[in-house]
Chain A
Amino acid sequence: MALPDIRQRSGYLFLIVAVGHIILISAQVNSRSGVPLLEALVFGAFAEVQRATAAVVGSARDTWDGYIALHTVHEDNLALAQRVSDLEVRLQRARALAGESENLRRLLALRDRSQMPTRSAEIIGTSATADFRTVTIDRGSSDGVRADMAVVSPSGAVGRVVMPSRHAAKVQLLVDRSASVAVMVERSRAQGIAMGSGENLLRLEYVSTSADIVKGDTVVTSGIDGIFPPGFVVGKIEEIERSGGTFRAIRVRPAVDFSGLEQVLVVLAPPTVVGPQVPAGGAERRE
């Protein structure tokens, strides 16, 4: 039996046989991960081929998508921008509805809690000047709203009705420079009159020199002005200035954020006056 005539190509034969040996060895040996070495080598090599192929395909696709297939991008962009605008409008509307719903829920809770005849109203306008702080509500005399009716919100006292029309009414806010409300300090029951200043602070006047008032005290309506029911929060004492034994100035931060008001309650029945008339004659109308 003669050997095959491949002597001239012994180098190739050597390579083939050597590779065969390596494959044979690899098939019997496990890699560090426990996978047969041949499998690991084949998979490793194949994975590299796959990776290279994927890279080439990915580059080609990126080139196509990023440079060539852009003829519809402008139209898509316009359509998307329009859609974004529509969605933003919807979102704002949804937020507004959510806020409105929350306000109404709190208002309803207040009405149930106060056990007073009230009429909910929506604020539909504000005052024309900054000095006089009024708002317009969508309830008027046809809804039973009369002048000097108190207007409250879940946060506290808001103001009083000063000018009802048939289907709307003007409400003077507590911070109006001509507004005043009979109050007392909730902790010490010290009484006084909270007066508007045209700013976002109230002045507490007519307070006894012996009154026990400290910074941070809560001020509530006392009800003796015949307009506001007692117990509604007006604000907190923010600053106290003394001169000798008397109070020079007491400033109250209102509890109600007047700039964020949307819905209020109009107290249809005035409270029963149980004490003397307040010196300033309740809420004085100066408009």
Chain B
Amino acid sequence: MTALKMLASIAAALVLQTTLARFLVRGSIGVDLVLVVVVYLSLRSGPTVGIVSGTVAGLAQDALTTGVVGIGGLGKTIVGYLAGTVGTVFIVAQPLPRFLVFFVGTIIEMTAITGFHALLDPGPHLVPVGAIVAQAFGNSLVGIVLFQLADALPRIAERSRTGRD
């Protein structure tokens, strides 16, 4: 993994998130494509890439919002670090383990962000458990698809090259 690829992936996720993600939302089901990319990169390349990608992606995402810059960055950094560590310690090559990593990663990120907001703004806060779980499902599904596509793309490219030959 090169830094350029990492930055390109994050930028692409941001563009898609800000332009197309709203079409993926149905009711309370949301998808955070940036988080999906961060977890993907972390599982592929380890905790360091997870930290860096989580920081860059989170800060960039924060910068595009009106909230406090750093909260999303910290949340994604945590998730990137944990996902990268899991990817190096365990074999996460099957859809189900990947699904779990995406799912738990989303839960952790949204819980962390909700907690930070609660810390900074004391008072009654409604924890959107349903939205968190829904987004965790959405992210996990997109993440599995992303992995499948990423795994399939080299094979497809190989076949088309073989067919031309």
Contacts and interface: CB of A to CB of B under 8 A. Distances in A.
B46 A22 contact: no
Given A1-B3, A18-B77, A24 B69 contact: yes
B49 A25 contact: no
Contacts of B46: 7, 10
Interface in A1-26: 1-4, 6-7, 10-11, 13-14, 17-18, 21-22, 24-25
A3 B42 CA distance: 13
29 contacts: A1-B2, A1-B3, A1-B4, A2-B3, A3-B3, A3-B6, A3-B52, A7-B46, A10-B47, A10-B48, A10-B51, A11-B47, A13-B48, A13-B51, A14-B77, A14-B78, A18-B78, A21-B55, A21-B73, A21-B74, A22-B70, A24-B69, A25-B68, A25-B69, A25-B116, A28-B68, A28-B70, A29-B68, A29-B120
Interface of B is mostly: helix
B14 interface: no
Interface of A is mostly: helix
Nearest to A27: B70
Interface residues of A, number: 19
Contacts of B84: 10
Contacts of A18: 74, 77-78
B9 interface: no
Contacts of A28: 68-70
Contacts of A4: 48
Contacts of B71: 21, 25
Contact of B51 (A1, A17, A37): A17
Contacts of A6: 48
B1 interface: yes
Given A10-B46, A14-B51, A17-B55, A24 B70 contact: yes
B147 to A, nearest CB: 21
A8 to B, nearest CB: 9
Q: Which of A1, A13, A25 is most buried by chain B, counting CB atoms within 10 A of its CB?
A: A25
B85 interface: yes
A237 to B, nearest CB: 80
Contacts of B40: none
A25 B47 contact: no
B74 A25 contact: yes
B120 A17 contact: no
A10 B89 CA distance: 13
Given A1-B2, A24-B69, A25-B71, 16 more contacts: A1-B3, A2-B3, A3-B2, A3-B3, A6-B48, A7-B48, A10-B48, A10-B51, A14-B47, A17-B55, A21-B70, A21-B71, A22-B70, A25-B68, A28-B68, A29-B120
